Structure 1
Amino acid sequence: MKLVKSLSFTEDIKQYFLKNASMDEIRNAASRLCRDYLTGRWKSISAEDIVVKRISGGLSNFLYYISLPAEEVSDKNSNSLCNIQTTAISTSKRQRKDSAACGDEPTEVLLRIYGQTHGEHALETMITESVVFALLSERNLGPKLHGLFPGGRIEQYIPARPLRTLELSDCKTSMKIAEKMGKIHSLHIPVSKEPEWLWNTMQRWLKSLDSIINNISPENEEKPEVHEIKKIDFEKEVEWIRSVVDSGDYPVVFCHNDMQEGNILLREEPSRSRRESVKSLSSLPETENEASSSLSGDHNANASSGLIGIQSRKRSIPSDDSYTDLDNSSDSVISNDSEESEPDLMIIDFEYCAYNYRGFDLANHFIEWTIDYSNPVFPFFSHTKEQYPTKEQRQDFISAYLRKDNEDIENYIPNAEEIESLEKEIRTFSMISHLFWGLWSVVNVYQNIEFGYWEYAVSRLREYQALKNSFLSAP
């Protein structure tokens, strides 16, 4: 029976993606969606023959790996009908092709099912994120969008892994990130152009702050970090930092707002076969109950099951934005000695994308050089201030960023005055980044995820206060 693409259809199938769903129910629902929104072999293949693996799932999203049988793809390869590997992002010299596709038919995809949509701005956020995802996909800045329906979407599967913290300082990698940030900042996206996302988000968090502070669990009550945070007047700090920004003239652009290593993917070498990819998925749990158990039992469960989850603070935001690695053995970008090779990167996770002050994106990225979220022991992050980019590294990044942002100007080369002006912006917005994520950590302390929220909040807020003191004492 031909399915009707409607909200009622979406609500009808969503039950099959709940935690108590059987694998057969999930497989049938996934098959029906792929049959409706994909072409070629997907129109005729039975649900029993497709490969379905759960990658992640939480409060707001369920993410599944779906593919045609490995044997069919292998046959296509042997007949040289298509290259099933993910190709490089489109450039002026190379045209991007669909991941694992033969013509317009992908052989493997990611299926994202939206979960809960509670909250004052939840529906608005979901719509905006979907629009941004579609536009960035069309402009080759994000994964390809294969299908968009009221309850979720079908996305390109990308064999890749997130960058590691130390790789952010690799020269080639840093220059490529700068170019991608400049490209994103030059986009014109049909959402509000006012820089209200930053202030609205913090105001929303402030509303829940009293309830959190007044209901601290007994085991946390005596933590020195809790006592330190209780002394902070967050409303006063937000008001002060906004007055600083309002007194200046800071450019507003379309920003990613969370460009840290977990949201920057390094694509695999194209020599990897599809059969190897599917084989590495075999350790993933088949059923929803198995998956839920393994994911909740260990903050690094994805890694232990053969996947590298995006090991960052974003794991505690129920977005499950997991374009995950199928092979944990990839060499570091830093170890690549080839003079001609460039890291093939893709930016993901558009949950926080919005028009914002460009200085926030730049400052936030530099700070992420110092924070490693892959620490396997409590508090599950490490903050190494000595890893902050040197003046030379910052200026190289800023130069590459400005060249990309102004690529329509022939022979454009940023001068020293432009670079120093942006350095000043970054110093100002570094304060805001620390305050923003410090506040974020406080309001997320009750998340059922193994992470040192109090410790992270104190680490960021101490840096904020130090920068503020330096700002106030400057002539």
Structure 2
Amino acid sequence: MGAASKICKNDAMDLPSPPPTSNSTSIPTSTSTSDVPYSHLTVDTSLSVPEMSPRVIELCKDLFKDWSKLDSSHFHVETVSGGITNLLLKVSVKKDSGDTESVTVRLYGPNTDYVINRERELHAIKYLSAAGFGAKLLAVFGNGMVQSFIKARTLTPADMKNPELAAEIAKELHRFHQVEISGSKEPQLWNDIFKFYERASVLEFDDSEKQKKYQTISFKEIYDEAVDLKELTGLLNSPVVYAHNDLLCGNIMVNDEEGKLYFIDFEYGSYNYRGFDIGNHFNEYAGYDCDYNLYPNKDEQYHFLRHYLQPDKPDMAPVKDLDALYVETNTYMLASHIFWALWALIQAKMSPLNFDYLEYFFLRYNEFKKQKHDCCLLARSFLQGS
């Protein structure tokens, strides 16, 4: 769960609207990363927000010409969200005209480049932004980016069970999967899983108790499971789409007044299998506490899948297509557990945060083993009957 950071990756946040373009001519509207301002400055994420505020203000002055001569007293910096993958800061600027505009300064978490391809993320953002997804990219700096605000609230695990919201998420995911990103369209799932495997299987922990627990893991078993699952999922012919890959509640926002839904944070986005993106999303119903009793039942899944397959006429979704996507989703759901389990092992070594990632590995991998028999049997029975 890139989302795994789910566990504490994104706290609820209420983001204001993007600054009016008429009052922020210094902020570029282009979404191309080559056109937006760039600064080599970095911000030390180990500092408290009050301690890092002067550096953040200096950064904003360096990036945006219209702000460069403003006194620091015109700036206000506060935390919007904090977690494993990044820290979001709200920077509000009161201009001499009396107008106030705000931006989001997003600071990458320590060592996250080890599991996140930032170049791939920045490349995709310009296409996703142009298609109306996420916040607009305004600038890039040494260890983060500046984006526009979105006026919305972050969803909670309870929201995921709301049939109306589930339907809207399904429709938006259908639209997301239509976005074309230039470059290679090779699905990244198994490349990433085996890359994570290579890194996770050779770790050494300074903490003797962690090392002892780590040594109980059978990496040969994990490798064999991944190879078998890759072979089985390959028989399902899941379409390759540009996938979010981390669609937890913390990465979905909604403006309740306007009924507008937003997907945010595309750090793990890549071309990938449709079934993985949906199956991973269903795993996210478990919330930060990984309560897999909340995993959507068959009726709830079919409700979602109908709106995904036929956004305008969900009741017209062909039963054959629904059944096939149900099997596809619940088979790739297993891959989601392996992916985030291996991810958690790397985080256990690399992340400075006080979270038991090692235990999280066992939560995900044990859930994989619990679900494997029934889900694989469902897939093989479907394939035999096809």
Kindly provide the amino acid, as one letter, of the partner of residue 110 in structure 1: T
Shift of the alpha carbon at 1:141?
1.5
**Contact between 2:306 and 2:314, CA under 8 Å: does it hold in 1?**
no
Kindly provide the amino acid, as one letter, of the partner of residue 107 in structure 1: E
Q: Look up the match of 1:203.
A: 194
Are 1:394 and 2:301 counterparts?
Answer: yes
Are 1:255 and 2:247 counterparts?
Answer: no
Name the CA shift for 1:445/1:414 in 2 (closer, same or farther; >3 Å): same
Name the CA shift for 1:427/1:114 in 2 (closer, same or farther; >3 Å): closer
Name the CA shift for 1:358/1:472 in 2 (closer, same or farther; >3 Å): closer
Counterparts of 2:341 and 2:234, CA distance in 1: 21
Shift of the alpha carbon at 1:133?
1.8
What does residue range 88-167 of structure 1 map to in structure 2 within 5 Å? 107-112=101-106, 125-148=117-140, 152-167=144-159
Kindly provide the amino acid, as one letter, of the partner of residue 173 in structure 2: M
Q: Look up the match of 2:262.
A: 346
Give the secondary structure class of the aligned counterpart of 2:348.
Answer: coil
Counterparts of 1:165 and 1:26, CA distance in 2: 32
What does residue range 17-416 of structure 1 map to in structure 2 within 5 Å? 19=47, 23-35=53-65, 42=67, 45-55=70-80, 63-69=88-94, 107-112=101-106, 125-148=117-140, 152-195=144-187, 197-212=188-203, 214-215=204-205, 217-220=207-210, 226=214, 229-230=217-218, 233-267=221-255, 269=257, 343-369=259-285, 371-373=286-288, 381-385=289-293, 387-404=294-311, 413-416=316-319
The two structures have a TM-score, normalised by structure 1, of: 0.63
Counterparts of 1:6 and 1:150, CA distance in 2: 16
Counterparts of 1:16 and 1:258, CA distance in 2: 26
Name the CA shift for 1:118/1:343 in 2 (closer, same or farther; >3 Å): closer
Counterparts of 1:430 and 1:22, CA distance in 2: 40
Q: Look up the match of 1:14.
A: 42
Kindly provide the amino acid, as one letter, of the partner of residue 352 in structure 1: Y
Kindly provide the amino acid, as one letter, of the partner of residue 348 in structure 1: I
Q: Look up the match of 2:12.
A: none
For residues 190-245 of structure 1, what are the alpha-carbon distances to aligned partners after superposition, in whole Å with 9 as ceiling and x for unaligned? 132111x1112112211122322x5473233565xx57633762222221111112
For residues 56-114 of structure 1, what are the alpha-carbon distances to aligned partners after superposition, in whole Å with 9 as ceiling and x for unaligned? 689986643222239966xx6xxxxxxxxxxxxxxxxxxxxxxxxxxxxx711112356
For residues 127-172 of structure 1, what are the alpha-carbon distances to aligned partners after superposition, in whole Å with 9 as ceiling and x for unaligned? 2211222222222121123345676432112343321112101011
Name the CA shift for 1:114/1:364 in 2 (closer, same or farther; >3 Å): closer
Counterparts of 1:44 and 1:52, CA distance in 2: 17
Shift of the alpha carbon at 1:347?
0.7
Q: Look up the match of 1:425.
A: 328
Kindly provide the amino acid, as one letter, of the partner of residue 211 in structure 1: V
Give the secondary structure class of the aligned counterpart of 1:107.
Answer: strand
**Contact between 1:186 and 1:254, CA under 8 Å: does it hold in 2?**
yes
Shift of the alpha carbon at 1:451?
2.7
Name the CA shift for 1:469/1:228 in 2 (closer, same or farther; >3 Å): farther
Shift of the alpha carbon at 1:448?
2.7
For residues 240-260 of structure 1, what are the alpha-carbon distances to aligned partners after superposition, in whole Å with 9 as ceiling and x for unaligned? 111112333221111101111
**Contact between 1:31 and 1:47, CA under 8 Å: does it hold in 2?**
no
Q: Size of the alignment, in residue pairs?
A: 344
Give the secondary structure class of the aligned counterpart of 1:444.
Answer: helix
What are the ranges of 5 or more consecutive residues in structure 1 without an aligned counterpart? 37-41, 77-105, 270-341, 374-380
Give the secondary structure class of the aligned counterpart of 2:77.
Answer: strand
Kindly provide the amino acid, as one letter, of the partner of residue 279 in structure 2: A
Counterparts of 2:44 and 2:78, CA distance in 1: 14
Give the secondary structure class of the aligned counterpart of 2:229.
Answer: helix
**Contact between 1:172 and 1:343, CA under 8 Å: does it hold in 2?**
no
Counterparts of 1:58 and 1:10, CA distance in 2: 24
Counterparts of 2:367 and 2:110, CA distance in 1: 35
**Contact between 2:243 and 2:274, CA under 8 Å: does it hold in 1?**
yes
After superposition, the CA RMSD in angstroms is 3.7
**Contact between 2:84 and 2:353, CA under 8 Å: does it hold in 1?**
no
Give the secondary structure class of the aligned counterpart of 1:157.
Answer: coil
Counterparts of 2:314 and 2:301, CA distance in 1: 22
Counterparts of 1:150 and 1:448, CA distance in 2: 20
Kindly provide the amino acid, as one letter, of the partner of residue 218 in structure 1: S
**Contact between 1:175 and 1:397, CA under 8 Å: does it hold in 2?**
yes
Kindly provide the amino acid, as one letter, of the partner of residue 389 in structure 1: P
Name the CA shift for 1:51/1:207 in 2 (closer, same or farther; >3 Å): same
The two structures have a TM-score, normalised by structure 2, of: 0.76
Kindly provide the amino acid, as one letter, of the partner of residue 423 in structure 1: Y
**Contact between 1:109 and 1:156, CA under 8 Å: does it hold in 2?**
yes
**Contact between 1:266 and 1:345, CA under 8 Å: does it hold in 2?**
yes
Give the secondary structure class of the aligned counterpart of 1:187.
Answer: coil
Counterparts of 2:304 and 2:314, CA distance in 1: 18
Counterparts of 1:153 and 1:44, CA distance in 2: 21
Name the CA shift for 1:121/1:363 in 2 (closer, same or farther; >3 Å): closer
Shift of the alpha carbon at 1:354?
0.7
Counterparts of 1:8 and 1:347, CA distance in 2: 24
**Contact between 1:160 and 1:267, CA under 8 Å: does it hold in 2?**
yes
Compare CA radii of gyration and give the structure with the larger one. Answer: 1
